[in-house]
Amino acid sequence: MLNLLVANVFFPPAGPKTITIPYNRFVTEVKANDVSSINATGDSIEGVFKHLTGATDSSKDTALHFTTQVPSFAGGQLESLLTAHNVTINAQNPNPPTSALVEILYSFGPTLLFLVFFLWLMRRTTAAAGGGLFSLGRSQARLYDPEKPATTFADVAGIEEAKEELEEIVDFLRQPAKYQRLGGSIPKGVLLVGLPGTGKTLLARAVAGEAGVPFFSISASEFIEMVVGVGASRVRDLFSKAKAAAPAIIFVDELDAIGRSRSVGPSFGGHDEREQTLNQILTEMDGFDSREGVIVLAATNRADVLDAALLRPGRFDRRVMVQPPDRVGRAAILRIHTKGVPLAEDVDLNGLASQTPGLVGAELRNLVNEAALTAARKNRPAVTMVDFTESLQKVLLGAARRIVLSPEDRERTAYHEAGHALLGLLVPEADPVRRVSIIPRGRALGVTVQAPVDDRQNYPETYLRARIVGALGGRAAEQLIYGVVTTGAESDLQQVTMIARQMVVRWGMSPKVGPLNLAEDPEQQTVMVAQRPYSEATAQVIDSEVRRIVDECFARAVGLLEQNREKLVALTEALLREESLEEAAILQVTGLSPKPTPESFVPATPTTVPAPEPVGANPRVSIEVPPPG
């Protein structure tokens, strides 16, 4: 049937041989009684000769059938002529109705073509993604081969406490009977909590590599699709695959993408896709027995926003804090990332670790990569300490800018940075000055870098005041030398205000306010309502105490610079000459002694008091900001 349809539509049968003759020839043949019949369609005439020879034209071609066209100026006598010579006249409608077959093709042809294209596209999608439209509910988790572990605990450094907590998980997956014989059960879920870049995902992969079990990895955002119900279906499919491959590990990265508290924010009647996915995860974690050998690892940097149902016993029973590494940990991380990097003899990874407080594993890896690129750009055979120093400045402050400063601005910037550096050396409680430079980087016209000798876990009031004195050193130097101040101390004043205010409202370092914590909780504040946990009278006391602390520190900064004006001038002249000075050069120019350094790199013992966030372990960078506009 299809062959017949195609043959008739695209390959119609050939008709009889037909020639085209002029109209006057047609009239002549009619008068000679050689025309048998005609079919008229509008002004077109198709006819049949009585004799084959009567059809001979100038080309000597012969045929019984002919066609001709009646000119518009021909008179109405043609009908009488045809009737007089006994010619059979047949007439046809010039606008015949369309056949049913053509109507079908016009009506359904585009739809059929679109359907064929859609089916072809779906087959391509299915082949590429292993699913297509009918696999939206399948889990998108990636399965890592347990026979070829890409990561082990040997690749993880700087987070030893977290590694120790997870060794029990690894031991359970290797020897489940050891823990089950006394009726114990391993936690169903382990939540890794830490800042971005601290190594949570790396630690989860190391657990899978050490245990030698299937490792299903997925990001929480991959559960969510525009089709409602897909997320819950993918959760069911993921847990089914893990149970079938048990013992196994399920790792959900960025859990807060779907695990946020259901009591915060709009819920659309409780049926939105994120909430359905979260409910399905809660159900699945309740529905399997820990003896099945399926453990759920999850990572987040916002544990404070997770739903309370996720954190209760029976779901994520254990919470592992992945803290930023200390100095010893940073040195170990640097040794891991420099395994394949040729290092020059002058590279001191322990010294580099002491200059990078606050940096996490991902940032240290980036630092090593930048240093390798810098050395390759300069065609060095190995990476030197200078490359690491330049890369550290680039990572912290940005690339150097090629701008031309006027002699006055350059000198003012040098005095500003010399004031910061000199006070860092004169104030006993301040962090050692590692570097001072007047080379513009990022938004800064000059920088002074201070880093502690060892990581701090607790901050005394004397240290915080030393931070304020050092931050005000640039403004104090400008006022002492020029008698006026500029906009260059903007970032310094921001640091000063923040530290002084938190000394008063958070840490009880003001005798008038007393040992009270009056800090506003950002989690309790809303866009519409911003309430302070103290009265207006207390606010005035807080403001006066903050002002008093800053004024006392500024007076101390000015006094120390006045007493050491010669050292300030000498350091400024060296900066104008060299543009950048390291710690040894700064000490040589000023004639001051270095601050005492611990004999060995012994990690500080953590205290029960959390370190204050605003003055965390990051290197203090004093920035000379250019005027607005």
Report the range of poorest mean pLDDT among 29-38, 85-94, 156-165, 294-303.
Answer: 85-94
Q: What is the pLDDT of residue 608?
A: 27
Phi and psi, residue 186, nearest 5°: -75, 150
Q: Which CATH number describes the domain made up of 327-397?
A: 1.10.8.60
pLDDT number for residue 98: 66
pLDDT digits (tens, 9 = 90+) for 462-484: 999 999 999 999 999 999 999 98
Averaged confidence pLDDT in the chain: 78
Q: Is the peptide bond before 247 cis (omega within 30 degrees of 0)?
A: yes
Residue with tokens 């009684």: 33
Instruction: For residue 503, name the pLDDT band (cuts at 50, 70, 90).
Output: very high
Domain at 407-520+533-623: CATH architecture: Up-down Bundle (1.20)
Q: Is residue 520 flagged as an active site residue?
A: no
How far is the CA of 18 from the CAs of 12, 26, 48, 66, 342, in angstroms? 16, 14, 9, 5, 90
What are the extents of the domains in the chain? 15-91, 142-322, 327-397, 407-520+533-623
- Three-state DSSP state, 89: strand
pLDDT score, position 144 = 55
Indicate the range of 99-108, 189-198, 305-314, 390-399 predicted with least confidence: 99-108
Fold that domain 15-91 belongs to in CATH: 3.30.720
Strands 88-91, 142-144: pairing is: unpaired
Q: Catalytic residue among 29, 275, 284, 417, which?
A: 417
Average pLDDT over residues 525-530: 43
User: Residue 605 pLDDT more than 70?
Assistant: no
> What 3-state class would DSSP assign to 302?
coil
Q: Are 33 and 49 in contact (CB under 8 A)?
A: no
pLDDT, one tens digit per residue, over 432-446 is 888 898 888 877 788
Helices (H), 42-159: 78-84, 100-129
What number does CATH give the domain 142-322? Answer: 3.40.50.300
291: pLDDT confidence band, cut at 50, 70 and 90?
A: low
Residue type, 582: E
- For the cut 90, the answer to whether the pLDDT of residue 307 exceeds it is no
List CB contacts of 350: < 8 A, sequence separation 6 or more: 327, 331, 601
Nearest-angstrom CA–CA distance, 96 and 330: 89
**β 294-300/248-253 pair status:** parallel
CB burial of 169-188 (b: ≥16 within 10 Å; e: otherwise) equals bbebbeebeebeeeeeebbb
Q: List the beta bridge partners of residue 251.
A: 217, 297
d(CA 565, CA 558): 10
- φ, ψ of residue 248 to 5 degrees: the values are -150, 165
Residues 6+ apart with CB under 8 A from 157: 325, 329, 332, 333, 335, 336, 361
Q: Please check the confidence at residue 570 and state whether its pLDDT lies above 90.
A: yes
226 pLDDT more than 90:
no
Distance CA 315, CA 296 (A): 9
Q: How many Å apart are CA 357 and CA 363, to the nearest integer?
A: 11
Instruction: Map residue 147 onto helix, strand or coil.
Output: coil
Residue 422 pLDDT class (50, 70, 90 cuts): very high
Q: How confident is the model at residue 491 (pLDDT cuts 50, 70, 90)?
A: confident
The H or E element spanning position 216 is strand 215-219
Burial track 420-430 (b if 16+ CB lie within 10 A, e otherwise): bbbbbbbbeeb
**Do the domains spanning 142-322 and 327-397 agree at the CATH topology level?**
no
Share of the chain above pLDDT 70, in %: 78
pTM over 0.85: no
Which letter does DSSP use for residue 228 in this model?
Answer: T
Between 601 and 558, the more confident residue is: 558
| 470: Cβ contacts below 8 Å, ≥ 6 apart | 420, 423, 424, 427, 430, 450, 557, 620, 622
Strands 248-253 and 433-437, sheet pairing: unpaired
Element (H, E) at 252: strand 248-253
Q: Say what the pLDDT of residue 211 is.
A: 79
Over residues 609-623, the mean pLDDT reads 40
Give the model's pLDDT for residue 420.
Answer: 93
Which of the residue ranges 206-215, 378-387, 496-505 would you say has the lowest mean pLDDT?
Answer: 206-215
- Greatest Cα pair distance, the chain, in angstroms, is 138
Residue 40 is predicted with a pLDDT of 80
Name the residue with higher pLDDT: 598 or 165: 165
**What pLDDT is stored for residue 609 in this prediction?**
30
